[in-house]
Structure 1
């Protein structure tokens, strides 16, 4: 993550403002300037000291994800060992973060827990950047649900936050229910992955499978110039879609 060195070194002249900027500034130990400001220390920073659009997207995703995970982990008053393990799994397995990046994520998580900013404030700023990228929204919803269910169930307070995220992200109730069923047994998880139900016809399943495979195909994801964290996460999603369809085909004898 090329942006990480700039953050740690405090060389950024223009970065994100808002609630995510406050948490990132505390985590990195220096103050960021809102990207909309016209002047920074009486002069514009050098091009090498600014974030590219992709780097800024990475910073927003990284800060928002771990800030929102912190708030939802603390929803019941205490962060449990199971929730911590789920967050660590997200860092290591899904995002493939190195040790330096893991420590940065932990710092953001810790500062966000005690931040005066709300879960909704983080979600709104995240959505302002990724509103046109539903795949990334779904990936974040997935990990929020995974951490919420890490203790074996989703509490009422966690559910309030999750449902608030669905409203902010314009994420449908049907998609939320299907995604939730991956972690809280309500329907067959393989149908949830394909965004279908057990009454769907074989032809509808096949159409949905092809649609999702096209959306999450590694070549298509990489062609969008998305941050590297998304690419690995999307590749895992691609494999999950294939596994789900293979299992349903076996169950149905297709």
Structure 2
């Protein structure tokens, strides 16, 4: 079953507590508690809810960012109504975005890399209009803090999305004075952690794995630039 088939089932009959569960459960008016809700469904609802909250971070809901969300999630026409309802409810919910972020961290406590995947998608949406405004940056930093991500993690993820400056060292999370072996090791580690198979294994829905391909392209480009320009190596 696709994530959207599972999602529809979750909207109809699943409630897993906290603000995320309230949003999903309110759609159907059903509150059957299920802490073992499919992690792919949890990822999807988390992304919808936090995207909706971020869209209002600067007080203006940008159509460009909403379109970016749908580009990420690739929602089939038959499920767009359900997704739109959850998105709208999350925007209107009185719960603050940090409550959402804390619950995401709790749900994925055993898979902390998933929180990085969520933050990565949020950066993609934030930069949909080509810029990251102050309100969006504050929002993303607070989400990262609630995810227990470090400043280094935040900077590394941010570097993959900044269209104004491409810093290959920041993309790989290494110092510009790092040795060739250290740089290569960082590239291999990033390649392993961000391979589509790894994302799917930790609960990212297959429908959203296209982001992993974009991420891998950026990581490989960073390594190629460092390898050739910093170390003048062809192999």
* TM-score, normalisation: structure 2: 0.82
Retained in 2: the 8 A contact 1:18–1:34?
no
Query: Shift of the alpha carbon at 1:129?
Result: 1.3
CA contact (8 A) 1:148 1:158 kept: yes
Alignment match of 1:3 (pick from 6, 23, 31): 6
> In the alignment, which of 221, 224, 232 is matched to residue 243 of structure 1?
221
- Cα shift at 1:24: 0.9
Name the structure 2 match of 1:45: none
Assess if the C-alpha contact under 8 Å between 2:111 and 2:202 holds in 1: no
1:23 Cα shift? Answer: 1.0
TM-score by length of 1: 0.77
1:178 aligns to 2:152 (yes or no): no
Whole-angstrom distance in 1 between the partners of 2:135 and 2:203: 36
Which whole-Å deviations, capped at 9, do the CAs of 1:85-110 have from their partners, x for residues lacking one? 32222123xxxx43334443322211
Equivalenced residue count is 229
Residue number among 37, 45, 49 corresponding to 1:67 in the alignment:
49
Residue deviations 1:136-190 (CA, integer Å, cap 9, x gap):
2111111222222333433332222212112111111022123223334675343
Aligned to 1:83: 65
Partner of 1:50: none
Residue aligning to 2:206? 228
Question: Gaps spanning 5+ residues in structure 1: where?
Answer: 37-52
Cα distance in 1, alignment partners of residues 134 and 126 from structure 2: 10
Quick check: 154-163 or 233-242, which moved more? 233-242
Q: Does residue 151 of structure 1 match 2:129? A: yes
Contact 1:91/1:102 (8 A) holds in 2: no
Deviation sequence 1:95-128 (CA, Å, 0-9, x none) = xx43334443322211111111110111111111
Deviates more, 1:185-194 or 1:62-71: 185-194
Alignment partners' CA distance in 2, 1:33 and 1:199: 55
- What's the counterpart of residue 132 of structure 1? 110
Structure ID, larger Rg: 1
* Counterpart position of 1:120: 98
Residue ranges of structure 2 left out of the alignment (5+ in a row):
none
Where has structure 1 moved over 6 Å in runs of 4 or more?
A: none
Question: Is residue 23 of structure 1 aligned with residue 45 of structure 2?
Answer: no
Q: In structure 1, what is the Cα distance between the partners aligned to 2:198 and 2:129?
A: 35
